[in-house]
Structure formats: structure tokens, C-alpha cells
Amino acid sequence: MRPLGVTLAACYEFLRAFLLGVAALGVVFVGGVASRLAGLAAEGNTLQRFLASLGKFVGVALLIYAAIQLLLGIGLLLRQNWARLTTMFFAGLGLLALLPRAVHFRPISTLFALLNVAVLIYLALPEARGYFEAKESAPQIPA
């Protein structure tokens, strides 16, 4: 039976994937609007093309990151050790990125920083590690 902490960590990855997907769509939309406004204000195409391509690039990068988060959530639910290790890596990176905002007490940033700490600590515990590694060392039953 899957531990509750693993299920919660997977749900957190799904939440991050959803929020990143929404942010990616927002960046693409806002980037398109900003490029049109810049094109109207500057009466030229160079700034408009730059802003449009920048918005698309950032939007696609965020969508790729959202897809990675989604795969990590699925991997955690399927008891994949690579998903545990990669989730710990991304939780650590997320904690480092959110630390300046959490120190100055931005409520949402502090919440996500604390969630990253919780995921990082839980997945590093011997019980969680054993849960994921037990699958790899289980004897295979021939079909």
C-alpha cells in the first residue's frame, strides 16, 4: 500500500504542473498582447517580433517544465525511484528560488517554500526511500 506522504507529494507535483501550465498560457497570451502594443507604439516590427518570440520561448519553456512536473507526479504514484530523486532535486531548486521571497514573508512564496521543504524531507526519510527501493529489489515472478 502506498504511503500517504508519497500520495501527497505526487499531488503537490500535480498542483505545480497545473500552476506552471496556467502561467505558461498567461505568458504566451500576455506576450502576444505586449508585442502588439509595442508594435503599435513603436510603429515598427523589431520590438514586436522580439517580444512575441520571447513570450513564446518562455511559454514553451514553462510548458515543458509543467510536463516534467506532471511526469514526476505520475512516477511517484507508480513507485519509480528516479521520480523520487528528481522530485527531491526540483524541490531543492524550488526552495533555493523561493528562499529570498520567503525570508521577506510573501505568504504564497513561504507556503510553497515550506511545501518544498516538507517534500524534500519526507522523500529523504529512510521509510520513503525504502518504499521506492523495495520495488527495485523485489524478486521478479516469471510469467
Spatial contact of 27 and 55, defined as CB atoms under 8 Å apart:
yes
What is the Cα–Cα distance from 45 to 52, expressed in whole angstroms?
10
Tens-place pLDDT, residues 23-80: 998 888 877 666 666 666 666 567 667 777 777 888 899 999 999 999 999 999 999 9
Residue whose C-alpha is closest to residue 21's, from 55, 53, 67: 67
Spatial contact of 9 and 87, defined as CB atoms under 8 Å apart:
yes
Residue whose C-alpha is closest to residue 90's, from 75, 105, 108, 104: 75
Amino acid at 141: I
Give pTM, 2 decimals.
Answer: 0.80
